[in-house]
Structure 1
Amino acid sequence: MNSHKTIPVTTEFHPRPKGRYAKDAPGCEKSSGEVFRKQCLVPALREFDSVLVDLTGYNRYGRSFLDEAFGGLISREHFTKAELDKKLTVKHDDVESFISIINERIISAEENRLKE
């Protein structure tokens, strides 16, 4: 490996990501955190040494989307926080609080994983 992938969410995934699961509401089968994780994040993390997720371009990400997309990497896809710390970077040029929420959800998922 030794390669890098940037995922600009609003252009490569959906202009207005929303929802936790594909079945949450009409349209979520194309815009949910679950779909983003499965279609974009997991394949990129398995193929590339480093992945940058750029959330810039949309300012209304919900906690459920962020939790399912990023916390779900640990709780559903069996990555560890240590693996994500090495490979995953997330940014948003305008709303830094999204990064805090993502870090919080990853830490929580890791704590739950370690309890099991």
Structure 2
Amino acid sequence: MITYDLKDFSVTPFGRYKTDSPYSAEAFREILILKLNEAIEQEDVVTIILDNVYGLGSSFLEESFGGLVRKGYFTKDQLLSSSPRLLNFETEHDFYLEEIEEYINTART
């Protein structure tokens, strides 16, 4: 399992685009793409730890995770439905999981 703790990116992730912040969703998504491609090559999964940051805004979550599908990097099925699913999360906050899965499932390509 490939594990990535979001706090290693920033304890205060903020913004949708790099023009908003160096710790934006767009910048994080670039790291996420590398991790997911590594997982595909190794027939592994990526687990993102979400709990060690000071909150996650909806625009950050949508651009990070919905953007994976919307921008054509991965399909919804690759991320959430394949067995085993490519992307997993560790969090004590179920609402983050629900929000992320909604953004991935409703992303338009």
Q: TM-score range by the shorter chain?
A: 0.7 to 0.9
Name stretches of at least 5 consecutive residues in structure 1 with no aligned partner: none
Mapped to 2, the partners of 1:77 and 1:69 lie a distance apart of 13
2:25 pairs with 1:16: no
Of 39, 46, 49, the match for 2:37: 46
Contact 2:14 2:24 in 1 (8 A): yes
Q: Summarize the alignment of residues 1-116 of structure 1 with structure 2, pairs less than 5 Å apart.
A: 4-10=1-7, 12-24=8-20, 28-29=21-22, 31-38=23-30, 40-48=31-39, 49-85=44-80, 86-93=85-92, 95-109=93-107, 112-113=108-109
Number of residue pairs the alignment of both structures matches: 101
How far did residue 46 of structure 1 move?
A: 0.2
Mapped to 2, the partners of 1:47 and 1:77 lie a distance apart of 17
The structure with the largest helix share of the pair is 1
Note the aligned Cα RMSD (angstroms). 1.2
| TM-score normalized by the length of structure 1 | 0.81
Mapped to 2, the partners of 1:90 and 1:22 lie a distance apart of 24
Deviation >2 Å, runs of 4+: none
| TM-score normalized by the length of structure 2 | 0.86
Mapped to 1, the partners of 2:106 and 2:14 lie a distance apart of 21
How far did residue 59 of structure 1 move?
A: 4.6
